[in-house]
Amino acid sequence: MNFEWTDEQRMLQDGLRRYLSDAYDATGRKAAREADRGFSAETWAGLAEMGVVGALFSEDQGGFGGSGFDLALVFEEMGRAGAVDPLIDTGVLGGGLLATFEPDTLEGVIAGETHLALAHAEPGARYELARVAATAERDEGGWRLSGRKAVVANAAAADRFLVTARTGGAGADPDGISLFAVERGALDFRPYPVVGGGTAAELSLDGTPATLLGPEGGAYPALAAVHARATLAVCAEALGMMEAVRDLTGDYLRTRKQFGQPIGKFQVLQHRMADVLIEIEQARSAVINLAGNVDGDARDLHVAAAKNLVGHVARLVVEEAIQMHGGIGVTEEYDLGHYARRLSMVDHRFGDTIHHLERFIALTRDAAPLEGAAR
Amino acid sequence: MNLEYSDEHKAFRDDVCRFLDEKLPEHLTDRGRRGRAPSKAEHEEWHAILHEQGWLAGNWPREFGGAGWDAVQRHIFETETTARGAPRIVPFGVAMLGPVLQKFGSKAQQDHYLPRILDGTDWWCQGYSEPGAGSDLASLRCEAVRDGDHYVVNGQKTWTTLGQYADHIFCLVRTSKEGKPQEGISFLLIDMATPGVEVRPIVLIDGSVEVNEVWFSDVRVPVENLVGEENKGWTYAKYLLTHERTNIAGVGFASAGLAALKRIARAEQDGGRPLAENPHFAARVARVEIDLMAMATTNLRVVSAAAGGQAPGAESSMLKIKGTVIRQEINALAKTAAGPYALPFQSEAVEGTNEEPVGPDYAARVTGQYLNNRKLSIYGGSNEVQRQIIAKTMLGL
Ligand SMILES: Cc1cc2nc3c(=O)[nH]c(=O)nc-3n(C[C@H](O)[C@H](O)[C@H](O)COP(=O)(O)OP(=O)(O)OC[C@H]3O[C@@H](n4cnc5c(N)ncnc54)[C@H](O)[C@@H]3O)c2cc1C
């Protein structure tokens, strides 16, 4: 057993941490938040140049990493900096699907030139991955899509949209879901900002021209695979954010004085801060479990376990940190506000604590319990 | 024991309900239902309606133009109005300053200020907290130095709720540095149009603006604006706090929030059924509803003791803690219920821009409200400070 990073991974981690702490100083974060596309083009270009997008892909895909641990490392640093770049959307989701179905177009993604958005979820589908109502019909030149897509992340920047639609089946049937590419120009939409940074949009598809990617009706397995990796990414990002919040709060407890002493001298706050630290370590272990299993047989079990646990811990950390800061904790300008907003959105991507609790129960009801890392 | 209201109180409740049916405008409740804070004009509109009925100041004695209600009547009124989503009565003039002036103010102050609170001429805000004086309020430093028939005020207040709307502020100021910190504080009324007063907005975590910084530089305040005696302000401030802590449980707000939450849960589809039927979600909603039912009765027990003449002590701290935790859990569940539609950033600040909400309208403000209502357990004496009060007064620890 070995919980250490390799030398290459450590180098990437150091470089990334340094780069992001410069890019995301107070002014950098504000600029990113106010940019039309929801992030800074310059920061994104720098990330791609450092090979951060490439770290999400294996060597035979044109990258130089791609393991669950590579993802965990990268996204933990993104989270620590409070970065808002659409690395999950363009890289893990969009790029992951292209790696499977259109690998020759991946180069532009890894180089940071192409932006992608996955338009999959629909109003009324909530977090159920196989629930797709949008439909695709074949016509002379290709395909035409109809239906609605909800909260499509990274819409403002995306050059291409990867859109799911049914060519067969119904309801929440995994069979019959197909994946299509739609060019930005074929869509008419108004992007809106998302809490904690980035953009999204609602898409109306009404005979929208599209190109089929991959096997007709057989997109679900790839979709589930990239979804698992995106869940890992968002959990690792949450972990980084929680550690940043822990540091901010610890500093505050040491410096804020009331009743003639630092508030960190009040035992009630000490104990609660101690609980926060314990829970963050639990989150770290859950992320490690998921990272080691994200491409294996026990994938779904670990996705459910990690996302449920991280969802709970994220809520605890947000609420305790704000409370221990007092009034300053509910202001927009103070750094904590950004992390709190972004961290409180983790539960709303790729399934919340309740959704993953149900999945975990379904997957473990009849199985013998095993220990964490070995499972 | 009898859990029913007396016949008189039942009749009063019917009166309140009839009044609300007739006089509470739909555009005001609508706004509340969508989680939007009322504008100044909307607050004023509601105050004027209540004033006309003679119900704006339920807590004031009739001699000062109040309704002279007992604690049970006040409770009934607050519960019914908040449960329907009416704007709250802005507390600074009516609930806070009014009682202080009635007990400690001069006749001239009572005659001048009290009618102006009722008819909406003056809008007050509360200047207690400072950057360095939060939970430890007695450490405040904003100072007032006597100069002839004026005080000259210098310093800064912060977290001044709705100060952007206010034309007057009641402040705790330091008039002496001798003795214990509590003993050098005075209670001063300041007209915010006086030269040297500056208000700067603070944007909150959900993008809304409801609190401000207020800066004083060489602000000259006539000595007749001192309430009571110099250096006795702490006593008045403590008296005021017992009034600030009415309706502290927020049962009406919690009921309205729970009703809204259930509406969302019935409308949201989850795995081909309404979210309300998801057993894990339903269990959490049930837990909070059970808690709320018990708290409503705890609240009534305190209210009933108060109507019988007992001043609530640590009980109001219990209600503050339980009430805020319940409301925050309801906010968290509403955010959970909205699912992915909790993600769009729909600021209170964009209200004026005519933009269509993204997704179902019930989701528009759930995230903002969740974040904003973290304040409930911080302001008015944080929940940690309330626990200290309970431990000290009920256990002697
Ligand atoms: C939205 C909002 C509106 C407000 N409106 C007004 C207003 O209109 N007028 C006004 O004057 N003020 C107002 N306040 C100020 C409010 O009363 C203070 O924020 C509150 O008293 C807490 O002070 P603080 O923010 O300085 O936190 P701090 O006192 O710095 O507290 C930080 C943390 O330490 C904890 N802590 C402090 N002391 C102890 C202790 N002895 N034991 C254990 N834990 C402790 C606190 O509970 C908190 O968790 C408002 C605040 C907010 C957030």
A260: tokens are: 């003639």
Q: How confident is the model at residue B353 (pLDDT cuts 50, 70, 90)?
A: low
Report whether pLDDT(B256) > 80: yes
* pLDDT computed for residue B35 by the predictor: 72
Report whether pLDDT(B347) > 80: no
For residue B342, give the nearest of A228, A307, A150 by alpha carbon.
Answer: A150
* pLDDT computed for residue B370 by the predictor: 97
Tell how far the Cα of B171 is from the centroid of ligand 1, in angstroms.
Answer: 17
Q: For tokens 């770049």, what's the residue?
A: A85
Q: Which residues pair with B211 in a beta bridge?
A: B202
Q: For tokens 């790029």, what's the residue?
A: A95
Q: How confident is the model at residue A58 (pLDDT cuts 50, 70, 90)?
A: very high
Query: Does the Cβ of B382 fall within 6 Å of ligand 1?
Result: yes
Query: Does the Cβ of B134 fall within 6 Å of ligand 1?
Result: yes
Report whether pLDDT(B298) > 70: yes
Q: Which residue has the higher pLDDT, A368 or B158?
A: B158
Q: Could you give the count of Cα atoms lying within 13 Å of B206 in the half-sphere of its Cβ?
A: 25
B168 three-state secondary structure: strand
Query: Does the Cβ of B187 fall within 6 Å of ligand 1?
Result: no
Burial group, residue B97, by CB count within 10 angstroms (0-12, 13-18, 19+): buried
B81: tokens are: 């109005």
Among the partner residues B270, B280, B378, nearest to A326 by beta-carbon distance:
B378
* pLDDT computed for residue A369 by the predictor: 74
Burial group, residue B107, by CB count within 10 angstroms (0-12, 13-18, 19+): exposed
Burial group, residue A274, by CB count within 10 angstroms (0-12, 13-18, 19+): exposed
Average confidence (pLDDT) over B249-259: 93
Report whether pLDDT(B122) > 90: yes
The H or E element that residue B26 is part of is: helix B26-33
Burial group, residue B385, by CB count within 10 angstroms (0-12, 13-18, 19+): middle
Are B205 and A341 in contact, with CB atoms under 8 Å apart? yes
Catalytic residue among B78, B80, B130, B244: B244
Least confident of A19-28, A360-369, B41-50: A360-369
Q: Which residues pair with A333 in a beta bridge?
A: none
* pLDDT computed for residue B308 by the predictor: 78
Q: Which residues pair with A146 in a beta bridge?
A: A135, A206
Average confidence (pLDDT) over A267-279: 98
Query: Does the Cβ of B163 fall within 6 Å of ligand 1?
Result: no
Are B295 and B323 in contact, with CB atoms under 8 Å apart? yes
pLDDT digits (tens, 9 = 90+) for A245-272: 999 999 999 999 999 999 999 999 999 9
Q: Which of B202, B345, B355, B390 has the most A C-beta neighbours within 10 Å, making it the best mutation to test the interface with A? A: B345
Give the separation between CA B330 and CA B253, rounded to whole angstroms: 10
CA dihedral B86, B87, B93, B95 (to 10 degrees): 50
* pLDDT computed for residue B245 by the predictor: 61
* pLDDT computed for residue A54 by the predictor: 97
To the nearest whole Å, the CA of B135 is away from the closest chain A CA by: 7
SS3 per residue for A176-214: CEEEEEEEHHHCCCCCEEECCCCEEEEEEEEEEEEEEEC
E strand residue ranges, chain B: 124-127, 143-147, 150-157, 168-174, 185-191, 197-203, 209-222, 226-227, 269-270, 273-274
Please report residues of A whose CB lies closer than 8 A to that of B211.
327
- Non-local (6+) Cβ contacts of B270 within 8 A are A126, A128, B277, B278, B281, B339
Report whether pLDDT(A95) > 60: yes
Residue B335 and residue A344: Cβ atoms within 8 Å?
yes
Q: How confident is the model at residue A38 (pLDDT cuts 50, 70, 90)?
A: very high
> Can you say how many angstroms the Cα of residue B262 is from the centroid of all Cα atoms in its chain?
25
Give the separation between CA A263 and CA A269, rounded to whole angstroms: 8
Whose C-alpha lies nearest to ligand 1, atom 51? B379
B290: tokens are: 């059970």
- Non-local (6+) Cβ contacts of A370 within 8 A are none
- Non-local (6+) Cβ contacts of B293 within 8 A are none
Among the partner residues A126, A171, A319, nearest to B339 by beta-carbon distance:
A126
Please report residues of A whose CB lies closer than 8 A to that of B283.
none
Report whether pLDDT(B34) > 90: no
Among the partner residues A327, A345, A357, nearest to B343 by beta-carbon distance:
A345
Q: For tokens 């405008």, what's the residue?
A: B25
Give the separation between CA A64 and CA A44, rounded to whole angstroms: 18
Dihedral sign, CA of B367, B372, B376, B377?
positive
Residue B244 appears among annotated catalytic residues: yes
To the nearest whole Å, the CA of A112 is away from the closest chain B CA by: 25
The answer for A171, left when phi > 0, alpha when psi is -120 to 50, beta otherwise, is left
Query: Does the Cβ of B282 fall within 6 Å of ligand 1?
Result: no
Query: Does the Cβ of B378 fall within 6 Å of ligand 1?
Result: yes
In terms of DSSP bridges, do strands A116-119 and A160-166 run parallel, antiparallel, or are they unpaired?
Answer: parallel
Mean pLDDT across chain B: 93
Which amino acid is located at B196 in the chain? G
Give the separation between CA A155 and CA B285, rounded to whole angstroms: 34
Average confidence (pLDDT) over B26-37: 81
Residue A151 and residue B384: Cβ atoms within 8 Å?
no
Are A199 and A156 in contact, with CB atoms under 8 Å apart? yes
Give the separation between CA A97 and CA A49, rounded to whole angstroms: 22
Q: How confident is the model at residue A14 (pLDDT cuts 50, 70, 90)?
A: very high
Are A241 and A167 in contact, with CB atoms under 8 Å apart? no
DSSP A25-52: SHHHHHHHHHSTTSS-HHHHHHHHHHTT
Q: For tokens 């699907």, what's the residue?
A: A97
Q: How confident is the model at residue A208 (pLDDT cuts 50, 70, 90)?
A: very high
Residue A352 and residue B271: Cβ atoms within 8 Å?
no
Q: What is the DSSP letter of A95?
A: I
- Non-local (6+) Cβ contacts of B337 within 8 A are B261, B264, B265, B268, B275, B281, B366
Average confidence (pLDDT) over A338-344: 97
Mean pLDDT across chain A: 96
User: End-to-end distance of chain A based on CA atoms, in angstroms?
Assistant: 14
Give the separation between CA A303 and CA A231, rounded to whole angstroms: 7
Other beta carbons less than 10 A from residue A302's beta carbon: 28
Report whether pLDDT(B106) > 80: yes
The H or E element that residue A138 is part of is: strand A135-138
* pLDDT computed for residue B374 by the predictor: 98
DSSP B305-356: HHHTTPPP-HHHHHHHHHHHHHHHHHHHHHHHHHGGGG-B---GGGGGGTPP
Output the furthest CA–CA distance in chain B (Å, rounded): 76
Are B136 and B185 in contact, with CB atoms under 8 Å apart? no
Are A285 and A372 in contact, with CB atoms under 8 Å apart? yes
Total residue count of chain A as it appears in this document? 375
Q: Which of B374, B376, B382, B390 has the most A C-beta neighbours within 10 Å, making it the best mutation to test the interface with A? A: B374
* pLDDT computed for residue B1 by the predictor: 80
pLDDT over 70 percentage in chain B: 96
Q: How confident is the model at residue B351 (pLDDT cuts 50, 70, 90)?
A: low
Which amino acid is located at B260 in the chain? A
Please report residues of B whose CB lies closer than 8 A to that of A340.
205, 371
B88: tokens are: 């709250």
* pLDDT computed for residue B280 by the predictor: 97
Which amino acid is located at A183 in the chain? E
Give the separation between CA B331 and CA B285, rounded to whole angstroms: 11
* pLDDT computed for residue A69 by the predictor: 97
Residue A195 and residue B271: Cβ atoms within 8 Å?
no
What predicted TM-score, i.e. pTM, was given to this entire model? 0.96
pLDDT digits (tens, 9 = 90+) for A298-330: 999 999 999 999 999 999 999 999 999 999 999
Report whether pLDDT(B246) > 70: no
Please report residues of A whose CB lies closer than 8 A to that of B341.
123, 150-151
B227 vs B106, B107, B108, B170, B181, CA distance in Å? 7, 11, 11, 10, 19
pLDDT digits (tens, 9 = 90+) for B129-153: 999 999 999 999 999 999 999 999 9
Are A179 and A164 in contact, with CB atoms under 8 Å apart? yes
Give the separation between CA A243 and CA A250, rounded to whole angstroms: 10
Question: Which of the given ranges, B24-33, B37-46, B225-234, has the highest pLDDT on average?
Answer: B225-234
Please report residues of A whose CB lies closer than 8 A to that of B383.
323
Are A165 and A159 in contact, with CB atoms under 8 Å apart? no
Q: Which residues pair with B124 in a beta bridge?
A: B168
Query: Does the Cβ of A256 fall within 6 Å of ligand 1?
Result: yes
Are A202 and A148 in contact, with CB atoms under 8 Å apart? yes
Q: How confident is the model at residue B240 (pLDDT cuts 50, 70, 90)?
A: confident
Q: Which residues pair with B226 in a beta bridge?
A: B188
| Ligand 1 nearest-atom number relative to CA A327 | 25
CA dihedral A260, A264, A266, A270 (to 10 degrees): -170
